Amino acid sequence: MRMRNKYKKPTTFPCNAGSKCSVSIILWILAGFLLLLHFFSLVSHKDGTSGEIELHISHNPSFRELVEVEEENIQIPPPRGKRSPRAAKRRPKRTTTLIDEFLDENSQLRHVFFPDMKTAIDPMKDNGNDSFYYYPGRIWLDTEGAPIQAHGGGILYDERSRTYFWYGEYKDGPTYHAHKKAAARVDIIGVGCYSSKDMWTWKNEGIVLAAEETNETHDLYKLNVLERPKVIYNDRTGKYVMWMHIDDCNYTKAAVGVAISDYPTGPFDYLYSKRPHGFDSRDMTIFKDDDGVAYLVYSSEDNSELHIGPLTSDYLDVSNVVRRILVGQHREAPALFKHLGTYYMVTSGCTGWAPNEALVHAAESIMGPWEDMGNPCIGGNKVFRLTTFFAQSTYVIPLAGLPGLYIFMADRWNPADLRESRYIWLPLIVRGPADRPLEYNFGFPLWSRVSIYWHKKWRLPSRWSG
């Protein structure tokens, strides 16, 4: 005989049959179902596109070479004689590290980090099979045989001339300290510009924005600071607009400067400087989005956070909109790029001329919120990865026709002789799932991992023609 459970209660809706309540519940269920369908369609579209890129990379031998992990094994030699007074003061009575060797201008390993002219990259020489190879850290010569001077720079691709232009700080002058506690510096010479069709052979186009030699009240007076120039083209006005970090020798002005030109090779006319949105501004960059809107990103509040906001339609000023991002993280040297609708940004820590660990951040909207994705560096050794290969980010170059592949531009600063600072160009690849969960949300992000691969020698895939 089947026993009836006298404790079981009948399952009913809290409303009477035929009431409006049951209809609303059905509508809510349908709405939720449609939202889930929309969400999964977005995920599958993104996964499908990412899958195509994964397949493209895995079946391309040139791409496979770029993702091979290349290790470094550098042995620290025993001390030889006296080290420089600055190096001795930095590390009293402790074991010498690879970073110490990098910072010591008298180190026996100096040639490892700063190879001499004998190994320089000379595009005008018959390089045979070594043509178009990048050698991170080596001296890079222009078409006239002189070392390229474009530090802290960025790349503009000019569609009208189908030419790449590399702008950066021209530091071909003596390094000195303005006072005992001041950082190493070179007087302002100006912004150097180089042009290329293939991003390997660079022609010197001269100083496109020159220092002011005599007017001490001018922002570009030679004893002031000009850093990290970036240039974008305004399609509406037909003008080339340069933004840069402007400061005094003590870094108390903390402003941005703006210049304008009718041509990518200048000359640029300097307009003014200001503190954007009323905040101090040091390391900065500008980013032009697909819709033509440009943004300024800058370190602020004594480098404790970054600020981001759109420029006006003529790119000559900031708008009234600004967002604080990466608050309290003390990041600088921002370098932005966009991949499959997601915004990515590489930043460095704040340690002066000394190298430190890079981090990648990602966002669905350029105005944030931005999420940390960890250290992107792969290869070398642990110290290489924790120092961004002894360099600091400055720009990320998109490569048309090579989805998922970019060039990471960085500077290997030489504070003992800043004109001898080197360029670190490495392949940056966006692919595969992220290996770090979101900081502010549950689970892992939908976007892909960003990886920067160390190579002593590498080249772009042969099918890329510029």
List the pLDDT tens digit at each of the 466 positions of the chain: 444 444 444 444 444 544 555 666 766 677 555 555 544 444 444 444 455 555 455 556 667 889 888 999 998 888 766 666 666 666 555 678 899 999 999 999 999 999 999 999 999 998 787 889 999 999 999 999 999 999 999 999 999 999 999 999 999 999 999 888 889 999 999 999 999 999 999 999 999 999 999 999 999 999 999 999 999 999 999 999 999 999 999 999 999 999 999 999 999 999 999 999 999 999 999 999 999 999 999 999 999 999 999 999 999 999 999 999 999 999 999 999 999 999 999 999 999 999 999 999 999 999 999 999 999 999 999 999 999 999 999 999 999 888 899 999 999 999 999 999 999 999 999 987 666 555 555 455 667 889 999 999 999 987 666 6
CA distance 388 to 135: 16
Please identify which residue in the block is written with the tokens 């006072």: 179
Burial class of 308 by CB neighbour count within 10 A (0 to 12, 13 to 18, 19+): buried
CA gyration radius, the chain: 26
Q: CB-based contacts of 363: which residues, under 8 Å, 6+ apart?
A: 342, 343, 345, 369, 370, 371
Asked whether 391 and 465 are in contact (CB, 8 A), the reply is no
**pLDDT attached to residue 127:** 78
Query: Cα dihedral angle (394, 400, 401, 406), rounded to 10 degrees?
Result: 0
Q: Which domains does the chain have, with CATH numbers?
A: 94-459 (2.115.10.20)
Half-sphere exposure (Cβ direction) of 361: Cα atoms closer than 13 Å: 25
CA distance 191 to 168: 6
**pLDDT attached to residue 76:** 87
405 CA to centre of own chain: 14
CA distance 299 to 305: 6
Which helix (H) or strand (E) covers residue 194, if one does?
strand 190-196
Helix (H, G, I), strand (E, B) or coil at 357: coil
CA separation, residue 431 to residues 10, 50, 66, 379, 424 (Å): 53, 7, 13, 17, 22
Q: What is the pTM of this model?
A: 0.85
Structure tokens at 163: 């030419």
Cα 311–Cα 317–Cα 323 angle in degrees, nearest 5: 50
